[in-house]
Chain A
């Protein structure tokens, strides 16, 4: 993590996410994202909001370095994605990006600690250290009393908290949440948004992707999207 911390210091005050003229076209003529410019500063809490088909999932993939743009440049934490190999992108994701998905993607049959510790598997942290940090992350998201529960023993809101703990256990530069409340009732959803807000106040850059204007409206900054463009 030390090299990462150096980066944070070097990049402080500049953007953690920098999209310039980004276009993503799929074979077959579908253009999901068209000439998007976007800058997110360190420490921001941003909502990308738009209806389905507006290109927000593609934005998530591009920002999360899971996909590369057809045109334009994507810089994450100071790294130009276009110049990085697949291995280097993997390392970037392992160290600097945390993901939270609508479907949680927790391993069934494995404890909350094991699920969260898996998030650190690819950053070269030893097992004991992983488990110790997983426990700390679970305490941080308010699941200190659910450490050894398995996903099927947890409520939807608790499952999403486990997923959030997994995303922040590695202390990423940016947390990407893709419809984090999409599978939750409104009370659990509000709780999850509140948690994201707390994490942001503690210093994590959080980018929420949602179709829900109410949730987006409760966040400090909104980036509305429609038909692949920021409007």
Chain B
């Protein structure tokens, strides 16, 4: 006659694991806490970095990634090169180019709040000559006031320049009062404008001795042709010496600046992993102690007909439940932390699904690994020994 042990149903096994944890709730909560902190840290780190990236994507989508800038590089002999006066006109002739505009640096022209400021205390602001279509091309907006008036000596202040000069109605440039007609908001794709004082192209020539050479050309082109345009920009801007032209894509620089946070993310992720490891050791420790304390229960269950395998499975299930409890709490906590941080930064809250699934999956692996050794010890216990020492 065959004697075959009955299988434990999954529902019975889960209930069995649950009783083990319920009998010592404080210990269960504390050892699950270790796992929870580790998972929460990792979820929050990945979540915050994804939220930041989502925000960048959103920002770039709003700004557009089709802006290219052309600046003079250096000549073969290491001198500062210049762009030909005709470069803007030439660039506008490239087929996919939608708009092109330029600013020209007016060199050695300090800007003062008033005529009482001693010469030399300039505040590091530069004067740029601009054409009326600048804002449309770089995606700039006025914080207040109006754009340049072509006829009169007026200026528009970049955001940083306005902060340094204060709320002044006029500024003193080259022995003359200039009326401030407007102030710009920060321009993310052309941050050099923030620190500048913009004057009309013709006013710059008339009052400041501006030579008319563009120093930066901004151009927008159809999205599909940005790379094609990029390749031909240098020879178009300066056909005689294309090597003396630098072409860059500000949206890439913006993305690169944000990407430097990646090392920090990796570091935090490593810390989270350490916390998780410590949490796993905590669970293993709890299970070892639990097996030692519950020798009588193990002996009783063996006498009731539990096989070694069923004792082993019971303790592994308990360990899995314990770490899953921590993992679920950790994922939740990490999500909340991400949400809170994202809200304060005005970011969208993005926690990738793989993090949530990975977090739970990692805790299952930890639970299994942490529980296996104690469970094997429990199963190896001789029933007589377990009953006698009780």
Q: Which of A106-142 contact B (CB under 8 A)?
A: 107-110, 118-119, 121-127
Q: Which of B8, B300, B309 contacts A105 (CB 8 A)?
A: B300
Q: Which of A67, A78, A91 contacts B4 (CB 8 A)?
A: A91
Task: State the CA gap A125–B390 with chains docked (Å).
Answer: 28
Label chain B's interface by main secondary structure: helix
Binding site for B on A (CB under 8 A): 3, 6-7, 57, 61, 64, 66-67, 78-79, 84, 86-95, 97, 99, 101, 103, 105, 107-110, 118-119, 121-127, 166
- Asked if residues B5 and A87 are in contact (CB atoms below 8 Å), the reply is yes
Closest to A114 in B: B19
- Asked if residues B304 and A119 are in contact (CB atoms below 8 Å), the reply is yes
- Asked if residues A105 and B296 are in contact (CB atoms below 8 Å), the reply is yes
Please provide the 10 A-B residue pairs with the shortest distance between their CB atoms, ordered closest to farther.
A94-B305, A124-B6, A122-B305, A91-B3, A88-B3, A90-B307, A91-B5, A93-B305, A66-B383, A105-B300
Q: How large, as a class, is the contact surface on chain B?
A: 35 or more
Task: State the CA gap A110–B15 with chains docked (Å).
Answer: 13
Chain B residues within 8 Å of A124, by CB: 6-7
- Asked if residues A64 and B303 are in contact (CB atoms below 8 Å), the reply is yes
Task: State the CA gap A154–B162 with chains docked (Å).
Answer: 83
Task: State the CA gap A6–B12 with chains docked (Å).
Answer: 28
- Asked if residues A79 and B387 are in contact (CB atoms below 8 Å), the reply is no
- Asked if residues A90 and B296 are in contact (CB atoms below 8 Å), the reply is no
Q: Which of B1-22 contact A (CB under 8 A)?
A: 1-9, 11-12, 16, 19, 22
Closest to A79 in B: B3
- Asked if residues A107 and B306 are in contact (CB atoms below 8 Å), the reply is no
Q: A92-B305, A107-B23 are in contact. List 4 more A-B contacts (CB 8 A).
A: A79-B3, A91-B3, A107-B297, A122-B304
- Asked if residues A66 and B302 are in contact (CB atoms below 8 Å), the reply is yes
Tell me the minimal C-beta distance from B382 to chain A in angstroms.
Answer: 8
- Asked if residues A123 and B307 are in contact (CB atoms below 8 Å), the reply is no
Task: State the CA gap A66–B309 with chains docked (Å).
Answer: 16
Chain B residues within 8 Å of A108, by CB: 23
